Amino acid sequence: MRYGDPIDDAQVDFAIENYQVAILQPWETGALERLKSARPDMTVLAYKCLSSTRDYEPGPVYSSGVCFEEAEEGGEHWFAHRLDGSRIEWATYPRHWQMAVWEEEYQERWCDNVADELEDSVFDGVMADNDVFDDYYGIHPPIEGDRGMAEIRATLDEFVPRVGRRLQGMGKLLVPNIAESRRDPGRWDRHAAYGGGFEEVWLGWSPEDHFDPQTVLAQAYEVAGPGLTVMRVPSDGTDDHPNFRYGLAAFWVFGGGRGGALAATAHDGYSVTPFIPELNWDLGSPTEEPRQRGNGWSRTFTNGWAAANLNSARRRKITYDVPPGLHDAQGRPAPEKVTVTPHGGAVFVRDPEA
């Protein structure tokens, strides 16, 4: 996932060898061409923001569907406003301006612009950021028209399908960043129906701020589809952070290997190539439904086994019997038993000689 920093050749080479999905800024066409040429099976999506325009981008290609200059030409009604009539700049991301996502003219221009960009492109579709649920950016509703977040969410319930249908008609995917869909049953399925969904906070808000078991279970169904599921688990930005393996184990346990991609990054740390060897493993098909032991969940596959401990209390470790004939990331035989710590995961794969 790339949110702006330049990509070097070594990173592109690494992605070709190790990744199935890439999200690039729409102007990163050099990396796009290299990825698709070497790996035509890789799904490469262009980043586009649904809800903001940024006044600092020089163009001619922009991260927003409607650039700042075009929005001003469109009319003041394309911008969102506070009750006093002032435009809304995002508090946590300066020079990002909240757009009037409820305006049909804005929606239509967004679709036209993105469709034009992708018409002759080898991008497979769009990752549409900021399909927001709550006020993450200091909008502080109510805003103009006495709109609150419920009204903005309802607007996105109309905007996202409009984008999805437009891209689908071109043979392209729409994969929105469906923030906190667990709080609105059915929202993930509605918004992922046009290519898939992106969950930016899989299992927790930050490296230390994990979701409780009930919250994890409320979002667990997301990894089963529809379409392409892209999950990001929060870490400190290092590959050895335990959340990486925890996220991967939960991805397999609840998703059953139905397809998708997972990464672990620091907050907004999207200019790196996170990796653990287990990321490349194919555990095969599930031989059972997810198996529960308290707040621990495990699952056996034709080619491996995974377990995740959703507990928060430090003493709530869970010891599992590991199926025979498996090995770890270093190629060593898996132990007969493994103890999984809270917010930890274990993944083992079939020994290739077995």
What is the structure's pLDDT at 314?
A: 83
Residue 170 lies in a domain: yes
Structural domain range at position 145: 9-200
Q: What is the CATH number of the domain that holds 99?
A: 3.20.20.70
Confidence of residue 128 (pLDDT cuts 50, 70, 90): very high
User: SS3 for 352?
Assistant: coil
Mean pLDDT score, 254-271? 92
For residues 314 and 31, the model is more confident at 31
Q: Within a domain: residue 230?
A: no
* Distance in angstroms (rounded) separating the CA atoms of residues 46 and 198: 13
Is residue 159 in some structural domain? yes
Structural domain count, the chain: 1
The per-residue pLDDT for 352 is 61
List beta partners, residue 178.
131
In a domain, 219, yes or no: no
Asked whether the predicted pLDDT for residue 258 surpasses 70, the reply is yes
Q: pTM for the full model?
A: 0.96
Whether 94 maps to a domain, the answer reads: yes
Q: In the predicted model, what is the mean pLDDT of residues 62-76?
A: 97
- Among the residues of 119-201, which ranges form H helices? 149-168, 187-191
Does 122 map to a domain? Answer: yes
Residues 101-125 have pLDDT tens digits of 999 999 999 999 999 999 999 999 9
Residue 330 belongs to a domain:
no
